[in-house]
Structure 1
Amino acid sequence: MIEIERKFLVTSDTYKKEAFSQKRIKQGYLSSVPERTVRVRTKGDKAFITIKGASNETGMSRFEWEKEIPVDEANKLLLLCEKGVIDKTRFEVKIGNHIYEIDEFYGENKGLVVAEIELHSEDETFEKPNWLGKEVTNDNRYYNSNLSINPFTNWR
């Protein structure tokens, strides 16, 4: 399956009042090489293993495969992950026909808030809420796999 998404910085916390869902996420990487990332994630009371391929030239599209796994197995796999487990809360906000996923990061990525929107095509139009800031889709620093290696608090 091909995932098409765009990523933006968030300029205010007004999205929290609009959110219909909020879940704590912990995720780590068994492999964080750009050609293939293998991620283990707990999200609320569920867990997943995900494999993602390299992004295309625009940074918007890439192969993604995901499977739900038992939470206890995910917690054991998180212990095997590379250094830098990601800890964040994900807020989901419906705007028009789309759902924005807004991630508020903790720990070494504290202060970073990023919104993602999944699209059906790279040229699909979508509504942009007033809290949506600069687009960072093609900036690899904002990939979670890179944030685990080079956290946001180290950028300054």
Structure 2
Amino acid sequence: MALEIERKFLVETDAWRNAVESSKAIVQAYVAIDGDTSMRVRISDETRAELTVKIGVSDMTRHEFEYSIPVADARAMTEASRGRLIEKTRHILTIDGFIWEVDVYEGRLAGLVTAEIEMGSESDDPALPSWLGPEVTGDPAWSNAMLAMNGWPGGGFA
């Protein structure tokens, strides 16, 4: 079992693009959602797939169980997810020793860009880049599971 400790922000500008180290296309579907517990399947670059269970511990921390699965199985689970689907391109950046994941959403969430920073502890205090917008850490409406189910918080799908 791993702990995932991260903060999440909306992104306001494209100033992050020059710092991108790698990118991958992601399709992820939510097979089950129950409060702060979710089970998702993710296909990355059409070549790798994982099944992940996340269980909330706090606003920033979740238990994360992740397992590689055959891509064909992931596609079948995606089709069975009842439309609880997210399509995005994930861009990886390293700033001051911290890994940032900037997600540019596609499909029905096109126009949404978020950034998550992976931390070793909830007490980490990384410098925040100027391209960030409001912090949405701990706001369930901005979790990927809720975005897949409900679309844009307060406004439905774009």
What is the TM-score of this pair, normalised by structure 1?
A: 0.92
Name the residue aligned to 2:137: 137
Name the residue aligned to 1:154: 156
Name the residue aligned to 2:34: 33
Q: Paired residue for 2:55, among 40, 44, 53? A: 53
CA distance in 1, matches of 2:82, 2:31: 6
1:77 paired with 2:81, answer: no
CA distance in 1, matches of 2:144, 2:83: 13
Matched AA of 1:72: A
SS for the counterpart of 2:4 is strand
Please identify runs of 4+ aligned residues in structure 1 that moved more than 6 A.
none
Q: Which runs of 5+ in 1 are unaligned?
A: none
CA contact 1:31–1:82 (8 Å) conserved in 2: no
Change (3 A) 1:106 1:125: same
CA contact 1:108–1:151 (8 Å) conserved in 2: yes
Name the residue aligned to 1:86: 86
Name the residue aligned to 1:124: 124
- The RMSD of aligned alpha carbons is 1.5
CA contact 2:109–2:157 (8 Å) conserved in 1: no
Report % sequence identity: 37
Alpha-carbon distance, 1:54 to partner: 2.5
CA distance in 2, matches of 1:113, 1:107: 13
CA distance in 2, matches of 1:35, 1:133: 24
For residues 9-55 of structure 1, the C-alpha deviation after alignment (integer angstroms, 9 at most, x for no partner) is 11111212210111110000110222420000001121110000124
CA contact 2:103–2:113 (8 Å) conserved in 1: yes
Matched AA of 1:104: V
CA contact 2:10–2:113 (8 Å) conserved in 1: yes
For residues 49-83 of structure 1, the C-alpha deviation after alignment (integer angstroms, 9 at most, x for no partner) is 00001242xx1011111011121221111111132
What is the TM-score of this pair, normalised by structure 2?
A: 0.91
Change (3 A) 1:41 1:155: closer
SS for the counterpart of 1:76 is helix
Alpha-carbon distance, 1:127 to partner: 2.4
Alpha-carbon distance, 1:86 to partner: 0.4
Matched AA of 1:115: A
CA distance in 2, matches of 1:149, 1:73: 21
Matched AA of 2:56: A
